[in-house]
Amino acid sequence: MLCINAESLSKSYGSVKAVNDITMSVKSGQVFGFLGPNGAGKSTTIKLLTTLIQPSSGSLNILGIDAIKNPLELRHKIGVVLQQPSYEPTLTVEKSLEKYGMMWNVPNIERKNRMEKLLEDFDLIEIRKKRNEDLSIGQRRRVQVAREFMHDMDLLFLDEPTVGLDPSARRKLLDYLKNKVKTGLTIFFTTHILTEAEYLCDEIAIIDKGKILAVDTPNALKNRFGKEKTIKIHLLKNQQEIKSYLSDIPDCKIDFDTGTNIIIHSEQSELVLMKILKILNENDIEIDDLSAVPTNLEEIFLKMVEDNVSNN
């Protein structure tokens, strides 16, 4: 079942197309990652999907609702955490959660129960009596995300939700979101931290200059665009002459960090490695350590954006 179905969706500001004829589908009950560099069109797309702005053209169906014709009907079924900080300075953490529950007409007893559970889940118990203006950036962000779970929703939009969080808090939030998805929630997730996307997302779309470049699972993207591997070799001794020995090997890019470190990039990594090992052996050059690292999602993202810039 599709949660989001956008067809030929565009948004123009004068002569500038912030979102350029994008078509995408998001299945229900999954985390859908939406990645792109600054200015790629991510925030504009989220504003379109959350009905904060109207598209210039195209169609948009979310949760079975025509989001362009019936935005208010849709807003009752979604949650939104935007990138910009949002908090009530003088309210305490617990009052912020309670107020949000009241705004969504959550019954009193249920509201209290949800608040206590969220204070625990987001490690906010010790700061529950603190005012938001006295919190750190990371603490405010945790409150901002936590309060969204004070109400029921079918779809949650999270725009850079881990900004300001330390690694421990970040992982705890990601695991919390994973568990929520198991209950049927669908999450539309943007981040600049590619390891987050790889850890959390079931599918990923990469957008640049208002156009979607690819949509697939993290593993499928790596298989499609990440054929290149990186081989790292550390020699026992400094061997300045190694550069001349390896200069004629085809189908690879070799970086010589120092006379002891060699880094090879190649789509034919196994064949290239065999040639290099043969040359090292013939010249009695001893190896201290060797490792092969497959291309990660971040490298694929950077390559796709770089290629898109080159082609435009």
161 domain residue, yes or no: yes
- Count the Cβ atoms, other than its own, within 10 Å of residue 146: 25
Based on the domain organization, do 86 and 203 belong to the same domain? Answer: yes
Q: According to the model, what pLDDT value does residue 209 have?
A: 87
CATH value at residue 26: 3.40.50.300
Residue 172 has pLDDT above 70, yes or no: yes
Q: Which residue has the higher pLDDT, 142 or 223?
A: 142
Based on the domain organization, do 193 and 246 belong to the same domain? Answer: no
Based on the domain organization, do 202 and 264 belong to the same domain? Answer: no
AA letter at 62: I
Residue 71 has pLDDT above 80, yes or no: yes
113 domain residue, yes or no: yes
Q: According to the model, what pLDDT value does residue 224 have?
A: 67
Q: According to the model, what pLDDT value does residue 295 have?
A: 65
CA 125 to CA 128: how far, in whole Å?
Answer: 5
Are 115 and 97 in contact, with CB atoms under 8 Å apart? yes
51 domain residue, yes or no: yes
Based on the domain organization, do 207 and 256 belong to the same domain? Answer: no
Residue percentage of the chain with pLDDT more than 90: 56
* Banded model confidence at residue 232, pLDDT cuts 50, 70, 90: confident
Query: Which of 252-256, 289-293, 308-312 is the least confident region?
Result: 308-312
The model's pTM? 0.77
> What average pLDDT score do residues 282-311 get?
73
Q: Which helix (H) or strand (E) is 9 found in, with range?
A: strand 2-13
Query: Which of 3-12, 118-127, 139-148, 258-267 is the least confident region?
Result: 258-267
CA 149 to CA 187: how far, in whole Å?
Answer: 12
Are 180 and 153 in contact, with CB atoms under 8 Å apart? no
Residue 188 phi/psi, 5-degree rounding, is: -105, 115
Q: Which residue has the higher pLDDT, 149 or 16?
A: 149
CA angle, residues 183, 189, 192, in degrees to nearest 5: 145
Angle between helices 137-148 and 108-121 (to 10 degrees): 140
> What average pLDDT score do residues 50-68 get?
96
Q: Residues near 206 by Cβ (< 8 Å), separated by ≥ 6?
A: 35, 36, 212, 213, 214, 215, 221, 301, 304, 305
The tally of domains found in the chain comes to: 2
Residues spanned by the domain of 100: 2-221
What are the DSSP calls for 126-193, one per residue?
Answer: GGTTSBGGGS-HHHHHHHHHHHHTTS--SEEEEESTTTT--HHHHHHHHHHHHHHHTTT-EEEEE-S-
For the stretch 108-159, pLDDT in tens is 999 999 999 999 999 999 999 999 999 999 999 999 999 999 999 999 999 9
> What average pLDDT score do residues 11-26 get?
93
- Encode burial over 205-243: b for 16+ CB neighbours within 10 A, e otherwise: bbbbbbbbbbbeebeebbeebbebbbbebebeeebeebe
79 domain residue, yes or no: yes
- Partners of residue 32 on adjacent β-strands: 188, 203
The H-assigned helical ranges of 6-92 are 42-49, 71-75
- What's the token pair of residue 74? 């849709």
* Banded model confidence at residue 296, pLDDT cuts 50, 70, 90: low
Residue 312 has pLDDT above 70, yes or no: no
Q: According to the model, what pLDDT value does residue 310 have?
A: 59
Mean pLDDT of the chain: 88
Based on the domain organization, do 115 and 245 belong to the same domain? Answer: no
3-state secondary structure of 118: helix
* Banded model confidence at residue 275, pLDDT cuts 50, 70, 90: confident
For the stretch 233-257, pLDDT in tens is 888 877 777 778 888 888 788 887 7
